[in-house]
Amino acid sequence: MNELQNNYDCLKRLHDSANLAIASLERQNKELQVEINILYQKLDNAQKAVDINKEIMRNALTDQNAIKDTYSQEIQALREKIKRLSNVN
């Protein structure tokens, strides 16, 4: 009977130890899942920031191209005016 009790006690300790390990792993898993969710949120925020910066750059380039085109047209008009004035003299 003593041997059965020892075996039972040993199995009980092993069972309790396994339950503690499982509980610890479940806690760690929950903590890691929270960290993963935070990292996904940071990644999402970073992607949104990149998209916003791309849009800002696209708008700035569009504006700069419009300004360049306006200046090019003014330069062309001035060249034509100079040419006309040169032909008058």
Print pLDDT tens along the chain (89 aa): 799 999 999 999 999 999 999 999 999 999 999 999 999 999 999 999 999 999 999 999 999 999 999 999 999 999 999 999 998 76
Q: Is the pTM of this model over 0.85?
A: no
* The pair of three-digit structure tokens given for residue 30, joined into one six-digit string: 């929950």
Region of 38 on the Ramachandran plot (φ > 0 left; ψ -120 to 50 alpha; else beta): alpha
Which amino acid, residue 69?
D
Sequence-ordered list of residues with C-beta below 8 angstroms from that of 77, at least 6 positions apart, any chain:
none
